[in-house]
């Protein structure tokens, strides 16, 4: 069992566990920020913690079951702490909390706080209410503007690479997705707030920032001079921040990839040539059932326009197999689209119903054995494409942003513009710098290289 070291004098131990998307990791960091004035300091293990927050995700399969399994284990820690005369505040946050708040308090009455993704700024008040009343405190409303208005300005440094949420919620209502029900309607942070946080992150040492949103390229933030900025205009302003070398954004929807954003990939050197663009299926019939709002032909045409603007652009995507009603012909259409695009990375999943979503009650379910086979076929093709893309960099010299030490002594770890991890021998003094690296080997999941001379840089 992992033991936490004693906290700094006067501090309480706060353990945060995040599941799911990078936005949850960002949200967990902000929860730590709002609890810091109450004396909470983050620790690495739940044992001996004064407060534990489970920040949940409803996207992954069996998310609710995994939560209750973890709560059962933590209940024992909470009871042991109370038997010793101490206290442990146990909180459930995130999308499962939003969707299953009543079930959580019914099945796990020992949970002190249940809060949805838009209520993190209320945590200090909720901690006080739980202590005062001795009853569970539940906050699952959607005051999305308040969340960003009331979160503290100062946050802990994230490191060389940082994440910045600029948009939340989604108005697309894909048939399989719970995001509109757990994160609410689309909301974009004002331009000034985003730029201020980005400057702060750079001042704390960040050299690469990834902009986050459930539908990030739907960004339409209010500008100080009036009107709204789209993501392309925001990227141009962020690229002017001294010391900010790289920009990325995720997750995008094909319907919101406008010409201005395509041009930003062409014109802004800081925007990395890597784009996550979920397609979900290659079948028009399934895409319509998913309510995606685009066809396979339209997706492929968009890919062609992006690659024409930025020839070295690499793409990643999401694929769902076995959506209700998916036939073998639909599956083959997905395989054909994957072969046509040649993805550098991808995330692929079997369809699993999410309560309250339209697809959850749809007829013509695909049996598990068929979903398993289709997923294996999709993943085998995607693995081959990723390995082929990595191997294509062998013998090239590319710029690598070094983010930290490698696993071995005297080794550095970094990322290429296409997000691949790279390991090279080198001095720790290079952490935070971008340097040319000659790629000796392109492995399936990473690259191996050595530092090269600046004049050899080819990418």
Provide the annotated binding site for [4Fe-4S] cluster: 21, 57, 95, 170, 174, 177
Instruction: Return the CA Rg of the chain.
Output: 23
Q: How distant, in Å, are the alpha carbons of 239, 268, 382, 401 from that of 275?
A: 17, 14, 16, 18
| Other C-beta atoms lying within 10 Å of the C-beta of residue 268 | 16
Distance CA(426)–CA(400), nearest Å, equals 12
Return all residues near 43 (Cβ < 8 A) that are at least 6 apart.
4, 5, 7, 13, 14, 15, 49
Q: Which of 365, 379, 287 has its CA nearest to residue 333? A: 287
Q: Which of 166, 163, 170 has its CA nearest to residue 142? A: 170
Q: Which of 156, 247, 140 has its CA nearest to residue 203? A: 156
| Other C-beta atoms lying within 10 Å of the C-beta of residue 146 | 14
Q: What is the DSSP string of 256-276?
A: G--HHHHHHHHH-TTB-SEEE
Distance CA(206)–CA(198), nearest Å, equals 9
Distance CA(114)–CA(96), nearest Å, equals 10
Binding site membership: which residues? 21, 57, 95, 170, 174, 177
Residue 168's SS3 state is: strand
Distance CA(251)–CA(230), nearest Å, equals 15
Q: Which of 164, 147, 105, 127 has its CA nearest to residue 36? A: 127
Q: Which of 71, 69, 64 has its CA nearest to residue 91? A: 71
Distance CA(396)–CA(324), nearest Å, equals 44
Q: Which of 44, 43, 23 has its CA nearest to residue 35? A: 43
Distance CA(83)–CA(150), nearest Å, equals 36
Report phi then psi at 17, rounded to 5: -120, 125
Q: Which of 294, 382, 275, 284 has its CA nearest to residue 329? A: 284
């Amino acid at each position: 069992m992992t033991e936490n070291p004693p906290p700094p004098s006067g501090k309480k131990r706060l353990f945060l566990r995040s599941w799911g998307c990078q936005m949850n990791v960002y949200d967990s960091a902000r929860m730590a920020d709002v609890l810091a004035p109450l004396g909470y300091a983050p620790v690495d293990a739940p044992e001996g913690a004064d407060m534990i927050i489970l920040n949940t995700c409803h996207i992954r399969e069996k998310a609710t079951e995994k939560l209750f399994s973890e709560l059962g284990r933590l209940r024992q820690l909470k009871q042991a702490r109370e038997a010793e005369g101490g206290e442990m505040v146990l909180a459930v946050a995130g999308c499962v909390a939003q969707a299953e708040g009543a079930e959580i308090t019914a099945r796990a009455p020992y949970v002190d706080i249940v809060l949805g993704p838009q209520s993190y700024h209320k945590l200090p008040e909720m901690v006080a209410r739980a202590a005062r009343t001795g009853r569970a405190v539940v906050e699952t409303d959607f005051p999305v503007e308040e969340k960003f208005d009331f979160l503290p300005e100062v946050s802990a440094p994230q490191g060389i690479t940082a994440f910045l949420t600029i948009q939340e919620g989604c108005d697309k209502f894909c048939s399989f997705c719970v995001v509109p029900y757990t994160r609410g309607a689309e909301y974009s942070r004002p331009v000034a707030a985003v730029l201020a946080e980005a400057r702060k992150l750079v001042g704390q040492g960040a050299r690469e920032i990834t902009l986050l949103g459930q539908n990030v390229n739907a960004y339409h933030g209010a500008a100080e001079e009036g009107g709204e900025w789209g993501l392309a205009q925001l990227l141009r302003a962020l690229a002017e921040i001294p010391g900010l070398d790289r920009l990325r954004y995720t997750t995008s929807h094909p319907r919101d990839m406008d010409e201005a954003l395509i041009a930003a990939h062409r014109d802004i050197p800081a925007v990395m040539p890597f784009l996550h663009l979920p397609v979900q299926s290659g079948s028009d019939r399934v895409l319509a059932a998913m309510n995606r709002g685009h066809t396979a032909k339209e997706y492929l045409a968009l890919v062609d326009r992006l690659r024409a603007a930025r020839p070295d652009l690499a793409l990643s995507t999401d694929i769902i197999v076995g959506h209700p009603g998916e036939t073998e012909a639909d599956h083959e259409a997905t395989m054909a689209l994957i072969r046509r695009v040649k993805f550098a990375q991808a995330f692929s999943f079997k369809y699993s119903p999410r309560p309250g979503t339209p697809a959850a009650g749809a007829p013509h379910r695909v049996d598990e054995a068929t979903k398993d086979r289709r997923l294996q076929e999709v993943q085998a093709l995607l693995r081959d494409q990723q390995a082929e893309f990595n191997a294509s960099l062998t013998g090239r010299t590319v710029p690598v942003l070094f983010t930290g030490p490698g696993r071995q002594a005297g080794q550095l770890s970094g990322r290429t513009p296409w997000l691949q991890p790279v390991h090279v021998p080198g001095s720790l003094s290079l952490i935070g710098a971008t340097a040319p690296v000659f790629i000796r080997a392109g492995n399936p999941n990473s690259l191996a290289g050595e530092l090269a001379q600046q004049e050899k840089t080819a990418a």
